[in-house]
Structure 1
């Protein structure tokens, strides 16, 4: 087996050590622009490297992406879902792969389902813990005296080269959680990454296979995906599975915004080699760019409207299934409309979008991959339709 052991900081610090809340959190969060400049300058490196460089991941740590959803008692900031998504959207405008990896800052919401004692160990060295994950296919694990013996291979572990912790999906005989997936959370140094992320879009996400061989995971380091959080507060009442879908979908919104802006920037000066008028003077360009702009703004408005509605319910403790379903529908719509906007934008650019170095070519491929994600694909539309019609919905939705 060819692979590498990769990992971030050690998770073995004393569980009693607490990190105080940063008094410069707001200033750090707002200081994203210099990092975006660096991402734009280096984005052509990400695909060939098949990962986001450590310096960029460290930049995400500095500005607070990975502490955004962490409890304040652990030094985190407990940002709202809309605040978090807007930051991921901005990063994705600079580069889709960078935005996708940053979106895993939502992982703190998943980790909140771990026992309190385990969370104190997770955040013993501070709140900026990077979680990557590969849930499916669920691999069988067996019980032992120390917890569970975990073995298996999981594909699509986005961001795994820069992670501190990696979660993998396991199944147990007679699991009291029933059919809900159980996630084993493992220090990254105990996981082998098998580099094989050879795809057409989001090439820099490092979504390689991860391999686990006879690792004993204590039961208190496992959680139920979609299960209740052990922490209290509005962000921990906000549904984790729906939030994960949103964090991915908003990447597509950012990519599409950049694609439209790219076309607008070139339209006033780019002439045709055939002697046709510059792009901005062509009627079909005028029509299609207007359609693309309205599609994107409509999808984005639905996305944030549904987010705010669900957040209001989380604030009062009364999150309901119907509103959660609307969030899932809005996320899927955003991803799919974003991909269509990128297709339109690339078509308007003509031969300019054919080059592998083209920003529009990258946007088209990246947005296509976003819309193919299991949480955002055609099947989620069908599940939303079933829910709207009052029919039994698929397991795991919304």
Structure 2
């Protein structure tokens, strides 16, 4: 068992802020390469970012979700792709902590281990002696190029045409990586596809997804930890939402950096900062970023407080967790859009970060789990007394 000094939230956030300038410098290169730079990965590891969701007994920090939100916010002020990749690693790392403790011993034997993953059951699982054999393909696997393991979902055919989705862990060297990531936004995340061809997975590295979604976890040593007894979907929501807040703050940073030297062409204003229109735009955008941060923090505080109390989650609380995530993404995108529209024609040049920030938040808002409209509709259903129309709650 390892022991480590556990940094405070403030220390971890400060470390993230200190690496943000490097992330910002490397962001154009990551966009061109379609993956993060090795230097960026090393900097994130040095800041302890990959240890945030690792149990303390393996030298991890076992951080709460409020810490994840604030760290991701600072990372995204440097580069949304780097923050998104870190956030995506946090979720499968949390999921790894739900497996039997012997499985965790295997995964966390690698220092600063990186686990990528997905919740989409786009592969087939066939039962065999001692485990399952998996065949299939998963898309949008962020961070796969730098990952050591992948958490996968595969469907096992059952009686009467039913299918049981299974969650499993696979070493990356047993999967094929298909470099098909050519997108307009979040280009630096390396969200490629991965392929399994007759991959055997031992039974101890397999869990039924419905059991996981209802809080039936297999770890004994993590059972009493407030961090690891929270439901998966609220945890996933809180783990990823900080990137949206950070992108809004990044747009705010870039806008005000450029503002002193900008004019308003074809107007009488000598400086853009003198125009009442600019005052209204700046005020509205910053307030929207503030509101996005409120929803992100309310979500994280709900996850953390329920974890500490051990109280059962209500359906309404689960739905609100996704609604807070969707609201944060919507408000962050609205803030970015205002800053972008106020940035003038020169902002379309690739060396002006606002254009990349705009594309990144657009891509993030289209993610199936983060889509503001989908999450608002789910929350509205539950508020109106209807049952959720998804298992992902």
1:276, distance to aligned residue in structure 2 (A): 4.0
| Matching of residue 279 in structure 1 with residue 272 in structure 2 | yes
1:174, distance to aligned residue in structure 2 (A): 3.1
Q: Hey, what's the Cα distance between the residues in 1 that align with 2:77 and 2:16? A: 12
Partner of 1:328: 322
Partner of 1:22: 4
Change in 2 beyond 3 A, CA 1:334/1:198: same
- Decide which of 99, 103, 108 is 1:114's aligned counterpart: 99
| SS of match in other structure, 1:262 | helix
Is 2:131–2:202's contact at 8 Å kept on the other side of the alignment?
yes
- Decide which of 340, 343, 349 is 1:349's aligned counterpart: 343
Is 1:28–1:64's contact at 8 Å kept on the other side of the alignment?
no
Q: Hey, what's the Cα distance between the residues in 1 that align with 2:119 and 2:320? A: 24
Change in 2 beyond 3 A, CA 1:201/1:190: same
1:34, distance to aligned residue in structure 2 (A): 3.9
| Residues 105-158 of structure 1: per-residue CA shift (max 9 Å, x gap) | 2322111221111111112244x2101113324321101123111111111000
- Higher mean C-alpha displacement, 67-76 vs 289-298: 67-76
Partner of 1:267: 259
| Matching of residue 147 in structure 1 with residue 147 in structure 2 | no
| SS of match in other structure, 1:307 | helix
Q: Hey, what's the Cα distance between the residues in 1 that align with 2:178 and 2:257? A: 40
Q: Hey, what's the Cα distance between the residues in 2 that align with 1:74 and 1:24? A: 12
- Decide which of 15, 29, 32 is 1:48's aligned counterpart: 32
Q: Hey, what's the Cα distance between the residues in 2 that align with 1:272 and 1:361? A: 19
Unpaired stretches in structure 2, ≥5 consecutive residues: none
| Matching of residue 86 in structure 1 with residue 60 in structure 2 | no
In the TM superposition, 1:248-259 aligns within 5 A as 248-259=240-251
Change in 2 beyond 3 A, CA 1:276/1:52: farther
| TM-score with structure 1 setting the length | 0.89
Is 2:293–2:328's contact at 8 Å kept on the other side of the alignment?
yes
1:42, distance to aligned residue in structure 2 (A): 1.4
Is 1:268–1:280's contact at 8 Å kept on the other side of the alignment?
yes
Partner of 1:58: 42
Change in 2 beyond 3 A, CA 1:179/1:352: farther
Is 1:135–1:154's contact at 8 Å kept on the other side of the alignment?
no
In the TM superposition, 1:311-322 aligns within 5 A as 311-321=304-314, 322=316
| Residues 24-61 of structure 1: per-residue CA shift (max 9 Å, x gap) | 74597343344222112211101110001222222222
| SS of match in other structure, 1:379 | helix
Q: Hey, what's the Cα distance between the residues in 1 that align with 2:356 and 2:203? A: 42
